[in-house]
Structure 1
């Protein structure tokens, strides 16, 4: 029976590696980055996503081991584990959001802000770029304005040198909003492009928010 509890721990580790937060990114991704490891096997977020692979393997090992050790005492344990796993993945984003609002309630710096990865539609005319971006912003603490611009971290987009100007974004304290914002920029190499970009990151600045 004691061995069975080790499998429960393995199962829980797998769940946490696979779970998505309220920012629509996996907790495993954040854990890998926190210890200085890339969650991807190749650069520029390409290749195999290691937290998902490791998490899935641990989840399967945990479920199989738990069922084998506890099925004689709990005949319906497999169905309970499956339902519990589904419920965990559904509830975890709300839990992570609530925890962040609680822990960072009095924050005043840049760490009081989180922004989900956005989706941007863009077009260029000559070397001028216009991007319309959608993203969610979570203001856990005391800030009421930031300067923000999208960052295109991709070999192709870096090679054509797209650089956006910062916009000033104001919002209520202790709030969350879904934003649709237009950004203006320049394309330093080439011209006449258009397209849609998924999972866009953003650069934030609280030191240049006048205007």
Structure 2
């Protein structure tokens, strides 16, 4: 009898905890609304918007009980957002309470304070992120290396593009843009050939006939 009571109490507790967890549809809807407003206020680009949606969805899906609100999941969320935001964007993010602390527990339910600031829940400033229909959460939860490496690749690309723009602007000023364009084409052709030379080698062609 004692064992049966203990089992029943465990089942009731488990049900209460699961009843408090957000469903996937609830979390997805709230993550979209929250991330849309973050993109609007922080001026996120498309890549940041996609990554921030994933991070917010992971956090919301991790909430099972009230104590989870400021748990390691919350700290992990903020750390990952810091990786993908610029320094200025993160400072703005941390200064806005409904972004930095996005969830409250009130009246036995989850509440997002961003709804108090943006009262029209049908108003969106951006379209849905591409991963909205496919990402179901959990893939990168707590994986700081993933977002750190992702942000590093963005910054590396941006650095290369800034360097390229400076070269083009210099060539325009000195009237050598046509030569620069021809050199770029030769470089692109050489890289393509090196990448595909096995595919187009005579030996490969002979074997494919």
Bucket of the pairwise TM-score, normalised by the shorter protein:
under 0.3
Name the structure where strand makes up a greater proportion of residues.
1
Structure with the larger helix share: 2
Normalised TM-score (structure 1): 0.24
